[in-house]
Amino acid sequence: MSNNKVFILLPDGIGLRNFVFSNFNNLGLEKGFEIIYWNNTPFELANLGFKQIKIKKAKSHLLTDSYKNARKYIELNLSIKKENDIVYDTYRFPFSYKTIRNIFKNTITRFLIVTHSYPKGLKRIRERIKKFERKTIYYKECLQTLKEERPSIVFCTNQRLSLAVAPLLAAKDLGIPTATFVFSWDNLPKATMVVETDYYFVWSEHMKKELQYYYPYIDESQIFVTGTPQFESHFDESKVISKQNFYQTYKLDLNKKYICYSGDDITTCPDDSQYLSDVAEAVRLLNDKGNSFGIIFRRCPVDFSNRFDKVLKDYKDVIIPIAPLWEKTGNEWDAIMATRADVDLQINTIRHTEMVINLGSSMVFDYVAHKKPCAFINYDVTNKKNKNWSVKNIYNFIHFRSMPSEKSVIWLNTPCEIAEKINKALEESNENIVSAQKWFEKINESPANLASERIWISISQIIKK
């Protein structure tokens, strides 16, 4: 390998779990790569012994955000026209006009949407973003870094951030191959593609087809199906602690079997506290009949609200909260950083609970990796916090259409049936697990524990071209 230097671009903290807190780095070193993290996060990778180059004061062009948002809306408009499916409208966020800056940005965005919602208009928007970013000081600094370091490839850990555009453009302008990883299973229908690279790494053949469908300018030869490192840690037995240690650490009752309730953020599920209350009530009912169950509540890592406080107090005999070990480095959701300790905590929470209950989360895949079932909440509460919100909106999202069978999860259709279905799931859950495993294999390349291996093999292939 004549040039084995690989730049791993971390535009934000999203890539930490996949490419820092996994075995990805160690595996690359074993294969003879020189790995340098081009780090735009507050996380100090040097503390882990990783090589890094810190990106300082990264700043996009004044107009990039407006054009990026317009691109998203135009892509959604084109998908609606192409498929005659209004589900794409649900991927939009309302415009904010709270500040002069927001008024300026969003006025431009709305104008661009009206005037460019056709294929050639979309292409013009994409090209303008590149033009703007090439004018920035940030781009020039990236260009200088790459001239000095001359890596063999720049691999971006996240396809949706505008701060990744300038460094990737700089690499392309110097003839350095670029690649990006599509980091989540629901990203492509949502029109979250912001960067454009020479190569794209996706979770599965299913995601590859999505990528080609939504972005027909991407050729099949540019796509590598690798799986995601997100699930690899579930297969690492060295991370598992004993049941006794786990129970002792979190003051759990060794005589109880625990169910995990996995929370959502307040936008995805404004009624989450009521759902947790319903599940706790069902567990009390089961316990009144001679069972011994408890609930471990794992809140969404980006939810720091107090909306669960009353439920946790009212059901303290049933619910034990174990908060995710993420670090808050700012006020925005993408400034909440995953930690290596939380990866271990999640693994052991799954290992030492019987099943998970949530609203449409990818935790179904985390649990099936441990051969355990998942139940999805599937009803609206009587007194909704947001009258326009409904579980039907959630399960109508495109990514849920990949489910091979409704038996992939246990559907909790009313509060009254929760107790019965929990009991049934723990007695005879094989059918759900088998179907969920098929869903997992459709969404993520198998075997799931070899994603990092496949990524490094693909990187090697690109370098050799």
- Taking the C-alpha atoms of residue 343 and residue 326, their distance in angstroms, rounded to an integer, is 10
- Residues 189-205, mean pLDDT to the nearest whole number: 98
- What pLDDT, on a 0 to 100 scale, did the predictor assign at position 167? 98
Structural domains present in the chain: 5-60+136-228+448-464 (3.40.50.2000), 64-132 (no CATH), 237-443 (3.40.50.2000)
Start-to-end C-alpha separation, the chain: 11
pTM here? 0.95
Q: Is 373 exposed, middle or buried (0-12, 13-18, 19+ CB in 10 A)?
A: buried
CA distances from 176 to 17, 167, 186, 342 (A): 26, 11, 29, 35
The H-or-E segment that residue 178 falls in is strand 178-181
pLDDT tens-place string over residues 81-110: 999 999 999 999 888 888 998 999 999 999
Q: What three-state secondary structure class fits 62? A: coil
Which residues contact residue 402 at a Cβ distance below 8 angstroms, ignoring those fewer than 6 apart? 185, 206, 439, 442, 443
Measured from the Cβ of residue 219, the count of other Cβ atoms closer than 10 Å reads 9
pLDDT tens-place string over residues 287-344: 999 999 999 999 998 888 899 999 999 999 999 999 999 887 655 555 678 889 999 9
Angle at 315 between CA 311 and CA 317, to 5 degrees: 155
- What pLDDT, on a 0 to 100 scale, did the predictor assign at position 286? 97
Comparing CA positions, the residue from 366, 353, 324, 334 lying closest to residue 426 is 353
pLDDT tens-place string over residues 349-360: 999 999 999 999
pLDDT tens-place string over residues 396-417: 999 999 999 999 999 999 999 9
- Taking the C-alpha atoms of residue 259 and residue 350, their distance in angstroms, rounded to an integer, is 9
